[in-house]
Chain A
């Protein structure tokens, strides 16, 4: 009996290891650019190359280029999902959140207009809009279940719609 329990435990461990292997092989899909002020993530599948020149780092992607001052760069690192980023000074009081009860993405406390973009976990843009000063919402009630990434000028959050 004891031997069977050990075998069962070991099999479960092995399968979970294999499962984790599969998940990990599907993960690490993003390269995150960390600067002194913020972080931006790019899906590796969309990232063509990174070049350096004129004091800048340029990430060439299939959807356009991202550019950073080299002097601001801290590091590059790999992530499973886009990383949350720090707030810019201009957006210090803005808050972005997923309101599960109201089934919406809510922006509050922004003193300036904020561009808000929501992506699926595959990097497909779902909505892009501008939230006026003082806040606003984007309804997601009709959206499919899954994980979404919300980006504003200064923040990135993830939420899971059930």
Chain B
């Protein structure tokens, strides 16, 4: 009874908190930064009005184009717009965009760009239950998802065949969904041949029915401004990238994947920086690992966590919550760090006659903790907490349980 009482009281308090948000959009150079304020926050002026402080950060008013308070509407001027409406799609190309060709087959769109000088911007919006976009190009570009709900019965929903930097903007206030077909040869429902940087306060939900949910050949970067990325299911990994995976903020949720939650695979190219690494600097990351002998977070090289809330639930047998073939470093250099791993799976028989145990955190080399909180709960039969095949260096923070390490420094 008391538990119910306190729960309801918490709900009452939470109800009061739910309303506490006022968005301020700071426009500079045609783009905006969103600052979320509590309704009681103010924006004081200092330096004779030449500086305004918004959300604790001071801005020179002469460097601000404008402040707005309503959810922005995407300015489509100068942008290529692909609009899906059921069984058909339309492509609108502004006169100033040169070197771009479009082929439309029902709601399946192919864009081919031969312009290797200008950075074009593409807006994708609308809905189709059998549509897709395949983009071919050789120069960096931007894709705005502006309320796109696209399911493809032919292959990937969004296939970007461009080896350069691709900005994927989840436009503020929009929800976007990408789903591919089952039994296909595509690598992912959302695929990028180059390196993808995701930003914008909207949401993206991806389902990979043939292989991965999201895949990029090179690095995948989640910027601080991201609203939420959800992989709702995948036949293989939730997010699979080459080179490195970096998360600076936002929310990432991985559910119902049969492979790894997020994998960063080494390209073995010395020209590629941070090759094989995983870097988490902030945000909220939640991963379910139901598959057997897979990992929640997997990387070939160093894993560095300097901030963020990470929750990983491992129910697959022989699976790992976090696994790195190199070293792992945890601190609170960027923001508070709170890592929780539930190792609920049991052991998996391996072909050699032994077993592969379910482990919360497995580090093949050294583990260094200088701040933050790490909690592993190995509740599965024979499950283990934290296994370190090198040296465990404790410099600060809270780690539970004590890692099982070859050596301690």
Contact = CB atoms under 8 A, between A and B. Distances in A.
Contacts of A25: 19
B5 A50 contact: no
A154 to B, nearest CB: 22
A52 B27 CA distance: 12
B352 interface: no
A72 B50 CA distance: 11
B22 to A, nearest CB: 5
Interface string A32-69: 00000000000010011111100101000000000001
Contacts of B66: 49-51
Given A49-B67, A50-B67, A77 B43 contact: yes
B104 interface: no
Contact of B39 (A16, A24, A50): A24
| B interface, over-half SS | mixed
Nearest to B7: A10
Given A24-B39, A70-B50, A13 B1 contact: no
A69 to B, nearest CB: 7
For this complex, into which size category does the number of interface residues on chain A fall? 35 or more
B42 A76 contact: yes
Contacts of B48: 70-71
A8 B16 CA distance: 19
A9 B12 CA distance: 11
A71 B49 contact: yes
A10 B9 contact: yes
A20 B15 CA distance: 8
Given A16-B12, A17-B11, A78-B22, A7 B49 contact: no
A144 interface: no
A78 B39 CA distance: 6
Nearest to A68: B49
Interface string B299-326: 0000000000000000000000000000
A99 to B, nearest CB: 33
A18 interface: yes
Interface stretch (B57-65, B128-136, B144-152, B209-217): B57-65
Contacts of A55: 49
B44 A13 contact: no
Nearest to B65: A51
A18 B12 CA distance: 7
Contact of A31 (B12, B62, B69): B69
Most chain B C-beta atoms within 10 Å of own C-beta, residue among A7, A9, A78: A78
A72 B15 CA distance: 38
Contacts of A48: 68
A40 B49 CA distance: 17
A47 B24 CA distance: 12
Contacts of B117: none
Contact of B2 (A6, A11, A14, A73): A6
A13 B37 CA distance: 26
B4 to A, nearest CB: 7
Contacts of B20: 24
Contacts of B268: none
B9 A21 contact: no
Contact of A44 (B6, B52, B64, B70): B70
Contacts of B39: 24, 27-28, 78
Contacts of B13: 17
Given A6-B2, A24-B39, A13 B8 contact: yes
Nearest to A70: B49
A3 interface: yes
Nearest to A58: B66
Interface in B147-181: none
B222 to A, nearest CB: 29
A10 B403 CA distance: 43
12 contacts: A6-B2, A10-B12, A11-B8, A24-B39, A27-B39, A44-B70, A49-B67, A57-B49, A71-B48, A75-B45, A76-B52, A77-B43
Given A10-B8, A14-B9, A14-B15, 13 more contacts: A9-B5, A10-B4, A15-B12, A18-B12, A18-B15, A21-B16, A24-B39, A49-B27, A49-B68, A70-B50, A74-B44, A75-B45, A77-B42
Which 7 residue pairs are nearest across A and B when measured between Cβ atoms? A70-B49, A17-B12, A17-B15, A10-B8, A24-B19, A77-B42, A52-B61
